[in-house]
Amino acid sequence: MDNNNQLALIRPENIQAIMQAAPHHYDGNKASHDRCIDAGLTILNAVRTQGMSDDLDQQAAAFIDKARRTVKAMNERRSPVTKLFDEVRTAFTTLENEIDPARPGSIAHDLQQLRNQYAAQKRAEEERRLREEMARRQAEEAARKFRMDVEDDFKRKFQDYVNAAINRITQIDNAVTLENYDNSLAELHKIKAAVDKGLSAQWADGLHTTLRIPSGINVAEVENELKLALFRQFNDQYLAEVGDTVDYVIDRLPSKRANLEKMAQANAEEAARIKAEMEARQRAEAERMEKERQEREAEDKRKTEMEREAAGMSSLFDQQAAVTAYQPKTKVTKRINLLNPEGIMPVIALWWSKEGCTLTVDELARMFKKQIAFCEKLANKDGETIKHESVEYVDEVKAK
């Protein structure tokens, strides 16, 4: 029915015809209803009080047949009226449905589908952008962490180099005797001359990390950058630690020689006293220099930690500063898409484990009415029945 015909149904004269016909047909159907109820109650009360008999069974069968014919007659009387009501209702609902976003075929529904497609596209683009951004940030973070780890590795290697140099100077100092004094002094001056020239560029060139290299990292570029950044710091520290140590040993070597000469001329007790004093002064000076070294190392570690924290905060701010493009408001709902008929089985299994097992027999029977009816049809037509302790078949007898 087109819109013009639908609109014609709700003209005043049509509404008036419906209103005039409805009471008349309703009164006729009401009278038929009342007479049928009265006749049926008479037979029903007799059966309830007397019990069913052949005569009452025949009266009941006749009444049921008459009730069917009465219902048919009532339906024929009211059909023209209710049909008009249905058509008028259809006229109204058609107008509503044509603009209802929930109705397929309406403009609003079509626009909603297009919006859904656009929202899905935007969401996919945003997820791809976020994945790419996450990958970029992870790569940057890996490179930043690798750079800091290499820096720590270089500092450890440098400290090992400094410790080896100081240990060599200490070994020479500890081994000084009157017999090898001149040779020891000459060797210390040779070391001092080398230290005064500063940290060897050759040593720096040979400095390489032994750490595991992450994928996509140009290790040579990182190493060269750090060598340039750290060389001056290393050189100053080398001059301070190794240079101070060799200068201290050379400066106190004449005093040590004098003590060795006194020890050689003194008796055993006096020699032991001089040696103890000399070793005590040496230990005290070594402890002072070690304390200064530890303080420098602690300060360097503190600065490194501050730089790492600053780099971490910068990375966090970069993440917060990321601007997201326009995204339509969306509601993401997961829907099951069965790839083949077998897919319904795990769905039913999950439903049964969470909800189905808690329902009553009546609730399940209503819910699976179609499936139960199919199995009943198989039993009545083909004799095929379910063999299970929870299922039984009962005979339902109907009088015709």
DSSP 8-state symbol, 343: G
CA dist 218 and 209 (Å) reads 12
Both structure tokens of 56: 């009452």
Predicted confidence at residue 360, as pLDDT, reads 95
The residues spanned by each domain of the chain are 3-97, 134-320, 338-400
CA dist 23 and 13 (Å) reads 16
| Helical (H) or strand (E) element with 279 | helix 268-320
CA dist 278 and 280 (Å) reads 5
Both structure tokens of 178: 């009157």
CA dist 237 and 158 (Å) reads 10
Burial (0-12, 13-18, 19+ Cβ within 10 Å), 355: exposed
CA dist 107 and 32 (Å) reads 48
CA dist 96 and 110 (Å) reads 15
Question: What's the full length of the chain, in residues?
Answer: 400
Predicted confidence at residue 315, as pLDDT, reads 56
Predicted confidence at residue 11, as pLDDT, reads 67
CA dist 223 and 154 (Å) reads 9
Predicted confidence at residue 359, as pLDDT, reads 93
Q: pTM, whole model, 2 decimals?
A: 0.54
**Residue numbers of the chain with a pLDDT score lower than 50:** 1, 7, 323
- CA 69 to chain centroid, in Å, comes to 67
Burial (0-12, 13-18, 19+ Cβ within 10 Å), 188: buried
Contacts of 180 (CB under 8 A, 6+ apart): none
Predicted confidence at residue 332, as pLDDT, reads 84
Using the CB atoms, write b or e for 123-161: b if 16+ within 10 Å. eeeeeeeeeeeeeeeeeeeeeeebbeebbebbbebbeeb
Contacts of 263 (CB under 8 A, 6+ apart): 270, 271, 274, 275
